[in-house]
Amino acid sequence: METRANHIVIGAFVLVVVFGLFGFVLWLAKIEIDQQFSYYRVIFEEAVSGLSIGGDVRYNGIPVGAVTEIKIDHKDPGRVQVTLEVAADTPVKADTVAKLELQGITGVAFVQLSGGTVSAGKPKPGSNGEPPILRSERSAIQAFFAGAPELINQAIVLVDAVTKLVNEKNRERFEHILANVDEISTGLAKRGPELEQMLGDLQQIAARTSELMNRLNGLVESSEVTLSVARGTMNAADELIEGELRKTLADLGAAAKRFEAVGKDLQVLVAENREGLAAFTTDGLLELTRFLEESRVLVAAASRLVEDLKSDPAYFLFGGQQEGFEAE
């Protein structure tokens, strides 16, 4: 009886566990049904080392889905097609970029989605109902792995060159060079005071050179000022000469007009007094000539009289008699 009771308890427990598991499965299925996904395809131009099915898909570092398929592109075997399952509310745009990144130092790879502008819109699906294709870019990890073989080859060449450089003969040369450097440094240390004096002289020369340059700059500036003043003076002189020339020309024009008017007046005067001028030229000029000759004689006599007066005024006043007068 007791054994039968134990069997009933065990059976009931098993039924409870089975129903519980069944309910849990139904709950998970409901979540999966309620949750919607979008699928995208990324074509990588290089190897996707470390990436596996079920690997994370992140959008700006936030987990949004998983990798559902990885296969070689049959059109180009050098490329790899990766299908992504991403939550439907993820803001994936037509210009969103996919990169392959590594998680920490574990070497586990995941797909990183980034970028995308609002104006770009949703990516368009491919032909025959294929998922939309997102553009891929080489990540730093892929660039490192792509360049690693060449880098290793260069490192091998460098190590080989260093090995050839550091041979016995070159080591002896290096030791000789180091000895010479030591000797030179010792000599410089002994001649420290002389070097300090030399540096002081160089500083003085530099100071004098700077002073000379300042003076030269001042001289150049003074020359520029002098040239500027000379240019201004020449310009002013040109303006003055031009102004005076214009004024002189204007005065000459006015004088010419006055002479022209005077000429016209003389013409009128001559025309009105033609008879009087004719009489003057016949009789008047003869009388004027006689008057001028008599005046010339009179002037000559007066000149002689003045000369006699200057030479001997007593004789001119008292004649030749001066008796009874003696000079003491």
CA distance 14 to 19: 9
The pLDDT, as a whole number, for residue 327 is: 41
The DSSP bridge pattern shows strands 80-87 and 108-114 to be: unpaired
Higher pLDDT: 49 or 326? It is 49
Range name among 69-78, 268-277, 310-319 with the lowest pLDDT average: 310-319
Tens of pLDDT, residue by residue over 217-234, are 777 777 777 777 667 777
Nearest to 142 by CA among 222, 46, 229: 46
Tell me how far the alpha carbon of residue 318 is from its chain's centroid.
Answer: 112
Cβ neighbours around 130 below 10 Å, total:
11
Q: What does pTM read for this prediction?
A: 0.39
pLDDT tier for residue 282 given thresholds of 50, 70 and 90 = low
Report yes or no: 41 and 136 within 8 Å, Cβ to Cβ: no
Tens of pLDDT, residue by residue over 103-148, are 876 668 899 999 888 888 888 887 777 899 999 888 766 666 666 6
**Neighbouring residues of 146: CB distance < 8 A, sequence distance ≥ 6:** 46, 138
In this prediction, residues 249-276 reach a mean pLDDT of 66
- Helix ranges (H only) for the chain are 2-34, 140-165, 168-190, 192-272, 274-279, 285-311, 313-318
Return the ∠ at Cα 237 (arms to 232 and 240), rounded to 5°. 125
Dihedral-angle region of residue 128 (phi above 0 means left; psi in -120 to 50 means alpha; beta otherwise): left
Residue found under tokens 């000369």: 307
CA distance 45 to 255: 103
The pLDDT, as a whole number, for residue 322 is: 46
For residue 90, the SS3 value is coil
Tens of pLDDT, residue by residue over 148-177, are 677 788 888 887 777 776 677 777 777 778
For the chain, give the percent of residues with pLDDT over 90.
Answer: 14
Nearest to 243 by CA among 253, 232, 235, 255: 235
